[in-house]
Structure 1
Amino acid sequence: MVLAEHLPMPASLVVVTLADTVLVMFNGWRGQWELPGGMREPGESARQAAVRELAEETGIRTEDLVFAMIVEVDLKRPERREYTAVYRTDLSVAPPLTVNDEALDFRWWNPRSRLIPDLNPIDAEIARRAVATISVPNPATRNDAGSGSDDSVVRGI
């Protein structure tokens, strides 16, 4: 079952790892450090959105994304419950990163360390959980969000 077809999943995030660090970007629009990602466009799958958003926000162009989890988040303004598809890509070399109107700066953050000032705490918890999960390539989980088991839904973040 593809959960993305059954849940309101308007966004995708990407956890980009390099050794023991995770890439975070400073979003100038929101004034905070966060994971790359964003809203799906009409007709786009969660995975396609992750690939596109990663390229747009960081300059990293890769299709080598592994499905990591679905995050269930209760949001306030306006009050609603949303689900976000999270993908992971593991790099062996630091890529050139592209500053743009949305991503004003980049930082490699160790999720086993303290939060950096202005780091979105939800994104920090997502990163921590994604790196704690051992990524085992599975063809059933590479295509789109929720192709795996219900164990991939993270609640209460």
Structure 2
Amino acid sequence: MAELPIRDRAGNALVGFRFVAEEDLARLVEQVAVPASLVVVTHANAVLMMFDSWRKQWELPGGTREPGETMRQAAVRELREETGIHLADLTFVGVAEFDLTKPERRELLALYRIELQVVPRLTLNDEALDFRWWPPSEPVGEDMSPLDAEIARRSLIRRSGCWLS
């Protein structure tokens, strides 16, 4: 694992990672915005990364919560929309804390995980131009989000209730 904070090419920084219970999200939302969810999909010791059409990099599936959605519902919907995977039995992992640019702000993202026994049929779309299975033991390439790669690595570790930095 990399020492935090780590930054991407746009200057966004992953500054913390915390394993919390899903019911603690409501309390966290009162302190810091939690506008989106990410999903770490694993199969055979590899993590599913999608090539994002807008940011032009490999990253985890996920996205912004729509009005009236819970963080879990957003994760399930984004996973379906971006990959074609129709599964709702995601495991809540915790939250990642970011210092973001454009505009400058501090946010938390809700993190979910699912381990697949079989490689799913993945659906290319306007948002996800390609998919790859990335072993977290491999280095992060120039075309991969270092923030998402670090989130994936940390999501595979179990340490209840602590910030990993």
Whether TM-score is above 0.5 comes out as yes
Q: d(CA) in 2 for partners of 1:3 and 1:49?
A: 14
Correspondence list, 1:3-152, <5 A: 3-4=25-26, 5-6=29-30, 7-133=32-158, 151=161
The answer on whether the counterparts of 1:71 and 1:155 sit within 8 Å (CA) in structure 2 is: no
Instruction: Output the TM-score relative to the length of structure 2.
Output: 0.80
Alpha-carbon RMSD: 1.7
Greater than 4 Å deviation, 4+ residue runs? none
Unmatched runs of 5 consecutive residues or more in structure 1: 135-148
Residue 21 of structure 1 aligns with an amino acid whose one-letter code is A
Q: d(CA) in 2 for partners of 1:75 and 1:133?
A: 26
Q: Percent identity at matched positions? A: 59
Q: d(CA) in 1 for partners of 2:126 and 2:134?
A: 22
Unmatched runs of 5 consecutive residues or more in structure 2: 1-22
Instruction: Output the TM-score relative to the length of structure 1.
Output: 0.84
Residue 3 of structure 1 aligns with an amino acid whose one-letter code is L
Q: d(CA) in 1 for partners of 2:120 and 2:90?
A: 15
The answer on whether the counterparts of 1:18 and 1:90 sit within 8 Å (CA) in structure 2 is: yes
2:10 aligned partner: none
